[in-house]
Amino acid sequence: MSVLINKNTKVIVQGITGGMGRTHTALMKKYGTNIVGGVTPGKGGTEQDGVPVFDSVSEAVAKTGANCSVIFVPPYLCLDAALEAIDAGLPLISVITEGLPPQDAVKLHAAAKLKGTLVNGPNCPGIITPGECLIGIHPGSIYMPGRVGLISRSGTLTYEIGLGLKQSGIGISTAVGIGGDPIIGIDQIVSLDLFEKDKDTDLIILVGEIGGTAEEDAADYIKVNIKKPVIGYIAGRTAPAGKRMGHAGAIISGNKGTAESKTKAFTNAGVRVAMTPSEIVELVKAHIPATV
């Protein structure tokens, strides 16, 4: 078991014939993801990497039985692509695209909420259940299968932690890269809830960063609802206020969004907070024996 995706997930790639789409379709297939189709309007009937390409999402779903879409289209086409996937009734979509204008993000998430669609991202590395399914751009070989759930706003920092865990013989159940934008779909709380219910996850790592109040909200949620141990980390504790640190959402505005406030909230909720990425691995080791 795992959360969100597993070996039975049937994936379509929107934007499969674009640069990013082509590259990552090949990598996802190589990893073992069951890619059943791709969508590029106007290129229906062709093939990409042995995968049939369709003109529309609804056609792809009808012909392949897909239950998940991963979106690699340019920012200004992204809203349209995501709305098409939501309309086609897919329960889970992952939006990898970075640079989606915020007003488009609002429309996307409003539509998803109406239909009950789970949206991962935007501006995220996607999701990986090691050994079973990868959607997005995670480097698959960096993770090994195991029983730690990983939730993170960052891409490469997630890989750093996955790699550190693997080097210590610790694997993960699923890593959810929730994305670095101010407005995201599947957030910390949704992910925590999924891991809490997953019988194959023993411990949860929550990697946050400065900006917004999502970590504080997650801490409140953990206090009441999460029984499994949670290890936290906040990136950007030395960041200056008022500066956007790479991610659109990583900015301390006024006195909101500081690492101090998030660390305090975590500690109050019984979350052990690591000060460095390698300390995360040390804290996990104290809970979970290595599997190799």
Name the minimum Å distance from CB 278 to other proteins: 6
Beta bridge partners of 73: none
Going edge to edge, which strands form the sheet with 133-136? Answer: 133-136, 126-129, 172-177, 145-152, 203-209, 230-235, 272-274
Q: Is 218 helix (H, G, I), strand (E, B) or coil?
A: helix
Among residues 154 and 258, whose Cβ is nearest to other proteins? 154
Q: Is 107 in the site for other proteins (CB under 8 A)?
A: yes
The amino acid occupying position 136 is G
Active site residue 247: yes
Name the minimum Å distance from CB 221 to other proteins: 14
Among residues 57 and 250, whose Cβ is nearest to other proteins? 250
Among the options 24, 109, 138, 247, which is catalytic?
247
Using CA atoms, how far apart are residues 126 and 24, in angstroms rounded to an integer? 11
Exposed/middle/buried for residue 47 (C-beta within 10 Å: 0-12, 13-18, 19+): exposed
CB 147 within 8 A of CB 203: yes
Among residues 16 and 137, whose Cβ is nearest to other proteins? 137
Tell me which residues in 61-100 interact with other proteins (CB under 8 A). Answer: 75-76, 99-100
Among residues 76 and 286, whose Cβ is nearest to other proteins? 76
Q: Is 148 helix (H, G, I), strand (E, B) or coil?
A: strand
The amino acid occupying position 128 is I
Sign, CA dihedral 7-11-195-276, equals positive
Site string for other proteins, 230-269 (x = CB under 8 A): -----xxxxxx-xxxxxxxxx---x---------------
Name the minimum Å distance from CB 246 to other proteins: 3
Sign, CA dihedral 269-175-116-78, equals positive
Tell me which residues in 128-187 interact with other proteins (CB under 8 A). Answer: 137-139, 142, 152-160, 163, 180, 182-183
The amino acid occupying position 151 is I
Q: Is 109 in the site for other proteins (CB under 8 A)?
A: yes
Segment contacting other proteins (CB under 8 A): 4-12, 84-92, 104-112, 222-230? 104-112
Q: Which residues contact other proteins by CB under 8 A?
A: 23-24, 75-76, 99-103, 106-107, 109-110, 113-114, 125, 137-139, 142, 152-160, 163, 180, 182-183, 207, 209-210, 212-213, 217, 235-240, 242-250, 254, 275-278
Which residues belong to the active site? 247
